[in-house]
Amino acid sequence: MVAFGKIFTSAMAMAVPVVAQLTPAQVVSNINMITQKSQALQAPAQSITIINGPLIIIGQGPFPQIITGFVDIVSTATTAIAQMQGMAPVPAGQPSDDIFNAFREFVRVHQALLNILIGKAGLFQTVPFIGQPVAAVLRQIENVVDTIAFGLIDTVESRASDLQAQANSLSGSLDVCIQKYEGLSLSRKARSLKFARREIAAAA
């Protein structure tokens, strides 16, 4: 995972101050909201094909919808991060368990979405312009997820190790997905270089 402290401090600095202190139930509600937004992106992700994927270049097809959905998740998560500022530690027991269960469900749903996207990346080895915008928004998702995880681990100490394990698992899935889409551009560059070398050798 990335440097939690730096991200969390940065997110707090950018956030709008919130007067009321968040309750555990509100934390659960915020996590559930993000989970629902992630769940809603699974159908568009499943609909990606070799035909409609490249339509991203004209703002059509499923990829723009998915990218917009990820931006919405980042916005919602950033608000949740701001609301967590100054939150009192959550005691062991049901409130802590509820927060952990909500975060675990988010991880499950979001990993399902990422796995769909990982599978779809293989369709576009010759369409490098798809990779960069998808990888860029996934980086933003990675940052806010890490920040939320850090805040929860710091606040829900009785489930800190469990939250850390879930966060690490999701971080691994995000890394794979980002690498897949970053690799689209890299693989195209590698093929272009290989082709150029072949042409030079043929001309020699």
pTM for this entry? 0.80
So what's the pLDDT on residue 6? 44
So what's the pLDDT on residue 129? 83
So what's the pLDDT on residue 101? 98
So what's the pLDDT on residue 126? 76
Name the strand (E) or helix (H) holding 81: helix 62-84
Q: Which residues neighbour 176 within 8 Å (Cβ) at sequence distance 6 or greater? A: 114, 118
What's the CA gap between 190 and 201, in Å, rounded? 17
Q: Are 153 and 76 in contact (CB under 8 A)?
A: no
pLDDT beneath 70, residues of the chain: 1-20, 185-204
75-127: per-residue pLDDT in tens? 999 999 999 998 999 999 999 999 999 999 999 999 999 999 999 998 888 77
What's the CA gap between 141 and 149, in Å, rounded? 12
Quickly tell me which residue has 């509820």 as its tokens. Answer: 98
